[in-house]
Amino acid sequence: MSPAEVEDIKIPPIRNGTVIDHITDGQALNVLKILGVNENNIDSCISIGIHVTTNRSGEKWKDIVKLEDMELDPVTVSKIALIAPNATISIIRDYYVAEKYDVKLPEYVVGLVRCSNPNCITNKGEPVNPKFLVEANCPPKLRCVYCDRILQNISDNLM
């Protein structure tokens, strides 16, 4: 059996929905956090693979998430690039890949992650949504629009 077939046994294929593949190892739960998907707001199955082997050159492990009966739009999934810049999104219809694209951050990231600078005005109880200018996509480099600092430890600062 090929590694892909082995993976299919561990994480079964879905008939309809979204597959988020090549997530940075260990970030699958943060991907769900970014998408706002949890057991309370979805009626279908979520399959998660953590620390799964990958064939992609230069990488050994990845995470994968499969969301049944949910088609995520490109704007929503673009947020995933915050913590998994190499992820790919496949929209599955009747077991076939109907659409496939890479994640890409928008010009600005707003309201998804808080500034890592504790002295930034956005962390001081003001009515303001944290906003970051995306200076690089892979790895993501975000500059706070307010305090001008580069955001450190993105996954630790997800809102």
Binding-site ranges for other proteins (CB under 8 A): 115, 117, 119-122, 124-128, 144-150
CB of 155 to other proteins, least distance (A): 19
The strand pairing partners of 109, in sequence order, are 132
Q: Which is nearer to other proteins, 104 or 141 (CB)?
A: 141
- Both structure tokens of 151: 């955001």
What H or E segment, with its residue span, contains residue 96?
A: strand 96-102
Whether the CB-CB separation of 63 and 27 falls below 8 Å is answered with yes
Residue with tokens 């699958």: 28
CB of 93 to other proteins, least distance (A): 43
Assign 53 to helix, strand or coil: strand
Q: Which is nearer to other proteins, 109 or 120 (CB)?
A: 120
CB of 140 to other proteins, least distance (A): 14
Q: Which is nearer to other proteins, 40 or 119 (CB)?
A: 119
